[in-house]
Amino acid sequence: MADTPDTPRSTGRPAHQNVTFDSNGTPAHGYLALPPAGSGPGVIVIQEWWGLTDHIADVTDRLAAEGFVALAPDLYGGNVAHDSGEAFRMMQDLPVERGVELLSGAVGHLLALPEVTSETVGAVGFCMGGGFVLYLAAQDPRVGAAVPFYGVIQGELPDFSHLKAEILGHYGERDEAIPVATLDGLRKAIKDQSGIDADFRVYPADHAFFNDGRPEVYDKDSSEKAWTATLNFLKSNLN
């Protein structure tokens, strides 16, 4: 996966955690942010391969500010990568099945909160987390709206035959990790197996263009357009 250069992606602080929940009988942790009104639709935020960093916590806070109850599960158990080599090893050490299991536990926790007003949740993820958005939505019908940002699929495509979520995806046309040409096959697999038309949008940008902590790839215009579309999509599909 081309997510370089090898520069630190955290401030040296551990992953953000302020909540514990059950994941198939074992404790898991995450970062929960509530909206100003105190309640709203639920959204899961899924980390990049760096971990539950300042950037992911900030996205979670931004969603809360827009009226959502947002939860970012910590897939790395408190660890944060400081370079791409470490991030790759940490991603490889997390089996997709375990990641989805943990995320499903987070979905259950979110829907059980009295502050959550929606019957389904949204899932927004980035890079590795964008791939997990699709894996989670394919397996968990409690996900009603899926938003992968430059989602990296690890291995085989998910089985989308049980997918219930509408999908809005954001991709960069200069992304070497996810060539734009591959999106047609992904869109077709989703349509053929679930009947759902995925809305994949391509921006004049690189991989990780939404990460404003990475000035070498951050694209302000593309990020703002993708963010506005994401908010509208979540508000339209969660009730």
**Three-state secondary-structure class, residue 122:** strand
Collect the ranges in the chain with pLDDT lower than 50. Answer: 1-12
Whether omega before 5 lies within 30 degrees of 0, making that bond cis, reads yes
Q: So what's the pLDDT on residue 57?
A: 95
Tokens of 200: 């994949």
Q: What is the pLDDT of residue 90?
A: 94
pLDDT for the residue numbered 239: 81
What pLDDT is attached to residue 147? 98
Cα separation, 24 vs 64, whole angstroms: 27
Query: What's the pLDDT at 204?
Result: 98
- pLDDT for residue 5: 37
Q: What pLDDT is attached to residue 4?
A: 38
Instruction: Give the CA radius of gyration of the chain.
Output: 16
> How much is the pLDDT for 11?
40
Encoded amino acid at 176, one letter:
E
What's the CA gap between 128 and 199, in Å, rounded? Answer: 19
Residue 72's SS3 state is strand
pLDDT at residue number 98: 93
Whole-model pTM: value is 0.93
Predicted confidence at residue 14, as pLDDT, reads 53
